[in-house]
Every structure is written in structure tokens, then in C-alpha cells.
Amino acid sequence: MSNETAAPVPLEVGQVRFDAFKSLWLWSMVIPGVVLGPLSVTPATLTASLGMTFLTLCLGHSVGLHRGVIHRTYEAGPVVRGALAYLFVLSGLGGPLSWARLHAVRDHWQNQRDCPPYFAYRHSLARDFVWNLHLRFDAADDRALSRLPPDVMEDRWLRFLARTWPLHVLALAAVTFAVGGPGAVAVCICARTAGGILGHWFVGYVAHVWGSRPHAVPGATESGTNVWLLGVLSFGEGFHNNHHAFAGSARMGLRTHELDLGWLSLRAMEAVGLVRSVRSHRFHGEPSRL
């Protein structure tokens, strides 16, 4: 049976179910963003939206959640770490703990020979669109959570944000409405959030299916790919084979031409004392398992 027709995951691994809220959240951002966003773009709304994209996706998601909370590739005080987690929430991508949990489970199975289809990326783009943007995965056990730093799932701030994250996005929308009206909401909240969700999904799919694999990860079913353009546009996340091979590194763009804006942001934060002990690998040693 091919992976296109196989069940996403075996029952002993977990279950994949339709997530009504996840689907509704996506389309409630896509529809007004597509319908009203283009009509509402002005130099001011476009500048504000791009600035918010950098703050929420680069600093919040890539630097704060992925490299900071999940992989702990640098050290930061509770205020800085908490602020970065809050910026992630304002991206509208979801709650930090559900993302950390899914990341741990996916990484665990991608490093197994019997990786389920849901995590192996051996299916079409259309199928992945349904699986990743409209379904949720419920693990059968919590073994994979051992891959996360031990304090993550019990962090009070992260637990609060996990319970309340949509309210913070809606509060930002209310402030945006008060300042710039419905057009600003369409561009800065709806179109930006929809673009972030769809962009993250697309980069995640492409950076496992197409592109180059300069590094082999021993024993892994899936080790990601490097796609230069997406790596630049996604603040380094598209250099995904580099990340799989050197998971403990805060630097994803390892070569000179691999522009990693997340890494450059971290270096700037380190220079002003906001973070410390930033870890980086430059092809030292063998690739590490995620």
C-alpha cells in the first residue's frame, strides 16, 4: 500500500482527527485577507504588516519558539524568553505547547525506520494541505516529550499562552481596528496571519520533499532539504537539512550564501545582552539526530 492511500499513522502511534477550530481559524483569516486585504493595502498598512511579520515569525516563531524553547540553542532570562513566546502567539500560528509537543513527536518518528506517512512527507502537496492544516495529531503516549527541555511543558507562562492564545490575537486585532480601521485589520491581522500559516506549511512541506540534502542523518527516515529561496524568506527555516543534521545549532544557514535572518537576529540580541551562550555548528563533527 502506498503512502498516498495508507492511514496517516497506526493506532498504536496515535490518531489523526479533524480539528474544527484549526480549520475555522485558518479560513477566518484567509477569506477576509484575500477578499479585503488587496483593497486595503497602503504604504502604512503594508509597512506595519511586514514589521509585524518579522517580529512574530522571525523573533517569535523561529528564534523564540523553535530555536529557543524547543531546541534551547541559547540561554535567555525569563523576561526575554517570555516576550519571544508572546510574539510567537501574536503570529496566530497557535499555542506554544501544542507546537512544541507536535515538533517533538514528529522529530522522534522521523528518526525511526518505521516513520508513519503523516511525518515522512512521502505524500502529495494536496494531501499535506489537508493533513497539516485541517487535522490534529493525538499521540498515543508521551514518550517523545523527553526530547524537549524538561521545563517546557510545565512552564506557567507557556501554559497560560497555550490556553489563551486566540484571545491575544483578537486583542491585537481590536487595537489594530481602533488605530487603522477594518482595512488595517484585513492587512495586518487577517492577511498576515493567513500568510504565516500557509507559508509555514508550504515551507515545511517543500523543505522535506524538494531541494538538496548535503547532510545525511544516520538512521533517519526523513532528514529535510535545503531550499535557498525559502530559507531566506523563512528566516532560515528553509535550510532544513542543515537543521536536521545540526539540531543543537542556533544557526540554520551554515554557508555564506545561506542567509539566515533568524541567526543574524540572535547575534544582534547577543551583542546587546538579551541572550547568551548561543550555540553554533560549522560542520564540526558528525550530523546529530534531532
Distance CA 194, CA 168 (A): 16
Of the candidates 284, 244, 238, 277, the residue with the CA atom closest to the CA atom of residue 261: 238
248 backbone dihedrals φ, ψ, rounded to 5°: -85, 5
Closest C-alpha among 205, 57, 34, 203 to residue 130? 205
Torsional class of 94: left (φ above 0), alpha (ψ -120 to 50), beta (otherwise): left
Q: What pLDDT sits at residue 219? A: 86
Residue 239 identity (one-letter amino acid) = F
The answer to whether 258 and 228 have CB atoms below 8 angstroms apart is yes
Stated pTM of the model:
0.93
pLDDT at residue 285, rounded to an integer: 45
What is the model's pLDDT at position 200?
97
pLDDT digits (tens, 9 = 90+) for 158-200: 999 999 999 999 999 999 999 999 999 999 999 999 999 999 9
> What share of residues in the chain are helix, strand, coil (percent, to 5)?
60, 5, 35
pLDDT of residue 143: 87
Q: Write out pLDDT tens, residues 80-124.
A: 999 999 999 999 999 999 999 999 999 999 998 889 989 999 899
pLDDT digits (tens, 9 = 90+) for 229-283: 999 999 999 999 999 999 999 999 999 999 999 999 999 999 999 999 999 875 4
* Residues contacting 120, CB < 8 A, separation 6+: 3, 109, 110, 221, 222
* Angle ∠(216,218,223) on CA atoms, nearest 5: 50
289 — pLDDT class (breaks 50, 70, 90): very low
Percent of the chain surpassing pLDDT 70: 95
Which residues on neighbouring strands pair with residue 138, listed in sequence order? 15
Average pLDDT over residues 54-81: 98
Contacts of 98 (CB under 8 A, 6+ apart): 162
Q: What number of CA atoms fall less than 13 Å from residue 280's CA on the CB side?
A: 15
The pLDDT of residue 1: 46
* pLDDT for the residue 9: 86
The per-residue pLDDT of the chain, averaged, comes to 93
Exposed (0-12), middle (13-18) or buried (19+): which is 60, by Cβ within 10 Å?
buried
Given a cut of 90, whether residue 5 has pLDDT beyond it is no
Q: Which residue has the higher pLDDT, 261 or 9?
A: 261
Q: Which has the higher per-residue pLDDT, 40 or 2? A: 40
Give me the helices (H) in the chain, please.
Answer: 20-35, 37-40, 43-53, 78-90, 96-110, 117-120, 125-134, 156-185, 192-209, 228-233, 240-245, 261-271
